Chain A
């Protein structure tokens, strides 16, 4: 709580290219996902670090987004989806019956491929999460949370004079940063980003990438991207998915310069994709 009310964006001093010493936040062991008869994810095991940005890359349809959505159980909304295996958050099994999916999603936030602000005011977009979770007992606390989340998302200066305007009236890049602010506002531990820049222009993309840098270390961040340059720019760890398998997982610099698997190398050198 105290952290989130810090007024300024804290810039990360560590070298973005080097992975920090790992403190494991989420683990997945032997995860399989089925969509009806379709076996979408096959025996994936992976650890997500607190300190690093983890990128999931791979050709489209490889299952990287599907796997991302198992990490906060967004697959629950699809009735035919079935998940087996263990996924833990700080050692707690997130698929156990004790885990409440609503509380889980408050801890593991998500940013989607297309910016999807609510058709409400900018203020209401950010305030919605804290309100349903009861994070702000008084109106003043809420103002503070909204301001701090918008600052962290690098949007405050652009919107502070028009907080009551509709969130859908912003530009695409601003909308996506608003969605990030919305995710930050509930004070999550992990933020999942599902191709957050695929609908944006290069300038807006650069801003989001800067933002990811700034947020590193504060939250465990997992980003799915089809853009390998982006993965190389923003992440310290990279996982390569292909046909539902996790082919290779390691330090980003290693994966891009010295992949161990033949398939990874083919993908990175652009032989298919």
Chain B
């Protein structure tokens, strides 16, 4: 039986458990002299829970481990003795055998696969039966256990609610689990990379050309400094030169000057700016902005201006970040107590003086934290640089020249034809780890500052 059918069967049994549990509880409670602890519906939920949950849990675990069990069973049969003893080739034969077992009409590349397919099919069927039988048995056992406990004095509600809380707790742990698995998976792959390429070469080397990796000294062409520089130059310098003044001034204008009607219209418009997907910005940067900037540079007298200039990518990225900076600044300014502003007005300061001398200094921690988050977002931004920046890693201060970034290189490294274990692919994970660590630190610092700052004014 396939696992979908089994899933629905278990859910169906759960429903039956619910109905019978409810009927029994209703009967017993009506007959009982005292007000009972739990309502029939709660008893029903208890029975349904016991019927379905253990079976589903088993089903999940089983479907994760049974392919491995089937494989081991097949390998132990005499038919598998002729297979290559280890490695890639055997795996591909087994994979084909599995495909053939599922769908006998498919063509096979390896002759051996055709021979093993029946064995494979038999093993699959056997384990599938074991799994189905165990699942159904568990469902019935759970049902019998819970059904027998339904009495007017039984505290079904307490049990059900405890389970609900457990489910909620598990859901909230998924966030930690995600963070952890990001960190661990990046760390494992990076460790494999650093086993081949010395970490100092990677972090301090100034030559990056992953297309030609020498087998004797792979670290020589995998020095990431040009990428770090490009990322910093595009994301933290050019983009911020655009985003910070525009974002900050928009926030100030919208919170301090604009009429409520203007504010009501302009805020959603800025939000739309934030909602435009990055691939659209990237396309726009590559199609419209980059050629314009190249022409402009040529006009200024730069003969060899690149059509994939750092300026084009950084400029568009800056525009993309404007609404983000604006909304962070908006929040920080709004958090400054009105009393402070009134105090300044009462002394005869003009609005702009109040803003410059009182509001901005008072909201500075929040604004700075917002900028850190904006930088974190800019250096992690991928599509704009993938589409508009160049792949050539150079260290330059000239915005009309090309520059590349960490994210762009990750995409380039992972979308070639390379195998998963080559230094080239693994380098992407090392870059990913670097990016993760840097953005993580920026985020933590910024979030902490924001929190402290909020508390200070509360």
Contact = CB atoms under 8 A, between A and B. Distances in A.
A103 B35 contact: yes
A100 interface: yes
B45 to A, nearest CB: 14
Nearest to A134: B39
Contacts of B39: 132-134
Contact of A103 (B29, B37, B40): B37
Interface in A81-107: 100, 102-103
A100 B155 CA distance: 9
A185 to B, nearest CB: 15
A134 B40 contact: yes
Contacts of B155: 100
Nearest to B37: A100
A132 B35 CA distance: 13
Contacts of A102: 157
A82 B132 CA distance: 50
A133 B35 CA distance: 9
Nearest to B158: A100
Contacts of B37: 100, 103
Nearest to A106: B35
A214 B29 CA distance: 34
Contacts of A103: 35, 37
Contacts of A132: 39
A155 B214 CA distance: 88
B25 to A, nearest CB: 10
Contacts of A100: 37, 155, 158
A102 B157 CA distance: 10
A206 B209 CA distance: 86
Contacts, number: 12
B419 to A, nearest CB: 54
Interface residues of B, number: 8
Nearest to A187: B35
Nearest to B30: A137
A134 B157 CA distance: 13
Interface string B7-40: 0000000000000000000000100000101011
A144 B176 CA distance: 51
Contacts of B158: 100
A102 B39 CA distance: 12
A273 to B, nearest CB: 30
Contacts of B29: 134
A100 B158 CA distance: 9
Interface in A75-129: 100, 102-103
B46 to A, nearest CB: 15
Residue among B29, B35, B155, B157 having the largest count of chain A Cβ atoms under 10 Å: B35
A103 B158 CA distance: 12
Residue among A102, A133, A134 having the largest count of chain B Cβ atoms under 10 Å: A134
Contacts of B35: 103, 133
Interface string B37-59: 10110000000000000000000
A112 B270 CA distance: 44
Contacts of A133: 35, 39
A100 B34 CA distance: 14
Nearest to B40: A134
A134 B40 CA distance: 9
Nearest to A100: B37
A91 to B, nearest CB: 16
A50 B35 CA distance: 21
Interface string A11-37: 000000000000000000000000000
Interface string A128-150: 00001110000000000000000
A134 B38 CA distance: 9
B151 to A, nearest CB: 15
A146 B39 CA distance: 20
Interface in B138-169: 155, 157-158
A163 B373 CA distance: 52
B34 to A, nearest CB: 10
Contacts of B40: 134
A44 B35 CA distance: 32
A255 B94 CA distance: 91
B433 to A, nearest CB: 39
Nearest to A131: B39
B83 to A, nearest CB: 61
A102 B40 CA distance: 16
Nearest to A101: B158
A102 B35 CA distance: 13
Nearest to A132: B39
B393 to A, nearest CB: 54
A62 B39 CA distance: 39
A77 to B, nearest CB: 15
B286 to A, nearest CB: 51
A31 B157 CA distance: 29
A103 B39 CA distance: 11
Nearest to B161: A102
A4 to B, nearest CB: 14
Contacts of A134: 29, 39-40
A100 B35 CA distance: 12
B53 to A, nearest CB: 23
A131 to B, nearest CB: 10
A133 B37 CA distance: 9
A62 B9 CA distance: 60
Nearest to A107: B35
B27 to A, nearest CB: 13
Interface in B287-310: none
A103 B157 CA distance: 11
10 A-B pairs with least C-beta separation:
A134-B39, A100-B37, A103-B37, A100-B155, A102-B157, A100-B158, A134-B40, A103-B35, A132-B39, A133-B39
Interface of B: 29, 35, 37, 39-40, 155, 157-158
Given A103-B37, A134-B39, 10 more contacts: A100-B37, A100-B155, A100-B158, A102-B157, A103-B35, A132-B39, A133-B35, A133-B39, A134-B29, A134-B40
Interface of A: 100, 102-103, 132-134
12 contacts: A100-B37, A100-B155, A100-B158, A102-B157, A103-B35, A103-B37, A132-B39, A133-B35, A133-B39, A134-B29, A134-B39, A134-B40
